[in-house]
Structure 1
Amino acid sequence: MAYTRIHGIKTTLNKALDYIENPEKTEKQLLVSGYNVDPLSASIEYRMTAALAREVKGDYTKTGGADNLAYHMIQSFSPYDKITPEQAHELGKKWADEILQGKYEYVISTHVDKGHIHNHIIFNAVSFYDYSKYDNYKVAGYLRKVSDRLCEENGLYVIKNPKLKQKSPTHYEWEQRKAGTSWKAQIKEIIDKAILETSDYDSFKTALQKANVEIKEGKRISFRITGTEQERFCRGDRIGEDYSRDRILERLAQPKERKKVMPPVSQEKAAPGAQQQKPPATVQPVFSSYDKAVEWQARKTTLAATKELAAALLTIRNEGIQQEGDFDNRIETLTEKASSVRGTMKELNVKNGQYKDAAKYLLAFNKYLPVKQEAAKQTRFSRQRFESRYESELKAFDHAASQLEKLGVNTNVDPDKVINLVKDQDSKIAGLSASLQEVTGRIGSIRNAYELVQRIKHEQGKEQGKEQEQGRKKEKGQEI
């Protein structure tokens, strides 16, 4: 079972990366790796990606975007989980890959210096793929949901049906709950029972006192079970979001749920000898189009006059489907088109990735070139002080120069021209992405329409079977 959390990094990116990459915590950095970035130069790379994003998309600080440099996710495993550091590292990578969808650079490290194994993941706040800022609004529940699923798939403990808005319990508290010795769980059970049995606050307090639960009234309501190891009072909102004074009063005022007793279904039979009309035989007329035939077939099924049927009929008309075999033909044609679009997008993304790297390093090279030139002018006495003052800028310049050499890009190339190429490629990719979305949407609609036609046939067959059975029973009754 893993506990998860996330917080933004605004200014201390270097310190945060140094901390999670600490050799003493990561078995001499054997448990450190990066996605689309070298962990040792991640701080520089993150800033370069953000700088290129500002050139392509604009300054986020002026357009309302968050000013976080990166985000720090933590995935902490229980000391009772049977998991090796290597397994935890791989599970953490799967977690990050699913959360970030391969669009953000990240560094992951697995710490083994504590009593429990835990992963640290620091990812760039700006996507290298589309230069969008990461939206962390109400993401905590999603992080935990994905982590829980991965843990369950790997045979680790998982809390079933957690309330994601609540604060996660500690490892100790979870173990107490598992063993049935958690006083918090006992208090919750007693409060829930008292609320069901009472309707006003005074009666509620009396019920708790009878159950050996003390109440402490103050700014916030607190509870303690007498005669147990619980020494201190615990605030209601610490027990759960439904256990503050306001929520307890709201729950007391709510009408109590009562089981509804349903009247017996009438089993009245028709009077003997009463003549019943024989249902007319179902004869399908000839229709001018396939959609009209489908609509007629659905008239006696549960799908008649539904939005689902209306959507299917619209798809059948728009796609020009005239017979059942046309469904497969349309899907095959559109699938080939989607495959072609994906291939073109892949080629453009590879080329654009090269343009982006070149633009990123050219921007940094030109930005810090004056600092490098000024460093070269320093005397023997002033050089050390100058290099200490501009250490980060000089590191960024050297890194950019090294990467441009690896890419085989001339440092005299105008970065603005490369940025224009990036924008042009982005525009083409966006157009293809929209086309792909439209094609895949059509494929999905056709499949849904086909499935609905099959359901109509199935229900129609059942209905006809019932009518035939009823007819046979009536014939036998008349014979008698």
Structure 2
Amino acid sequence: MATTRIMPLHAGKGRTVGKAISDIIDYVKNPDKTDHGRLITSYQCDSRVADAQFLLDKQTYAARTGRVRGADDVIAYHLRQSFVPGEISPEEANRLGVELARRFTKGKHAFIVCTHIDKAHVHNHIIWNSTTLECDRKFRNFWGSTRAVHRLSDTICIENGYSIVEAPKRRGQSYNKWLGDTAKPSHKEQLRQSIDRALAQKPASLEELLHLLEQEGFTVHRRGKTISVSAEGWGNNVRFDRLGDGYTLDDLLAVLSGQKVHTPRKLTAVQAASPKVNLLVDIQDKLKAGKGAGYARWAKVFNLKQMAQTLNYLSEHGLLDYTDLETKTAEATARYNALSGKIKAAEKRMAEIAVLRTHIINYAKTRETYVAYRKAGYSRKFYAEHENEIRLHQAAKEAFNELNMKKLPTIKELQTEYAQLLADKKTAYGEYRQARAAMRELLTVKNNVDRVLAMEQTEPQQKEKDYGQR
């Protein structure tokens, strides 16, 4: 589950543009929060001199366009993306942050992503330059950008199997509508669908209808004439009189008495084509944790359903032999790991290409300045006047030395390689999502089978112990 917030950055009073940029970048790059810099990823810039590059791009923009903004000019944008504690690893959070920044800026702005692990929840700080890579335009914080970036973040989380905020409080269009078909049904919609299924069984009374809902895992609450329903994981109860036309208590009583025909409401959310296999609930552990008898009744029904779905899965896929299940699970896990490694290798090389391309461009841009700096005898005064250009040139030379490059590749060669890697990554990513889903399903099924087998082995031993005590 991720939340996001966009914060435009201004120079402010008493600070130069360069100081403002370096302050925010120094904060997000804090080695104590980013595992000594391991969780920092840059795009089209070098994180070590990102402040100098951002400032040089702004100077180039002003020189090319002649547009100079006042003190209210936005110098960069700061996006914060937070994840629910314990759901995602720092490395995966960093990868999703890079994906969010790249897609939101359409790859036209340099940015850095710093993943902080100093809090209970992992969170990303994303800083992107307001000036484009071509130095001819600026990013404008358009109307609705906060909602757009939240929507994109949710989409990326769903694509990668992570949870989202199901009922954010906001004005205007409802969350489920603007998120689209990928949204999960709301609690009210889930209850309406369960009522539809219960009425299809022709219950004779309201008590029988409520009993059918309890069998689906709901808990019924009565307070006077008001009836409400809750379920595991819901924060609040849902009252029948708030379900809309056709689902109020009066409507349901009219249907049960034969005075009215029930017409299921047109679904506003996409339902899964077939029920997924979920992990069995450890009822004893839940009871020790403080759950009551009502939860135990729900969990028993839930486990029975999951055991039936597990058996259906095994039958449909011809995995009734445990050895076959183990082999299939191992193969699915190996395929997932192979695709994951392929994608990570491509992403690593793409990041290297982006940084190398930036250094080559910066090297060419600042070469004349650095030559003049040498001719000036490495003058301190000259350095102070051209600090950003000199820092970028020195960083580029250091990068070339680290890579032991005797001949620099052309920008065209790098762009060709980058485009091929991107195409390969997109192809592999489609297979990766399918492999991940298959692996998760097989691991869940195998876990359920192992649980059942362990229970069967324990029961005979318990019976023998009880018999011996008699």
Compute the TM-score of the two structures, normalised by the length of structure 2.
Answer: 0.39
Question: Computing the radius of gyration over CA atoms, which structure comes out larger, 1 or 2?
Answer: 1
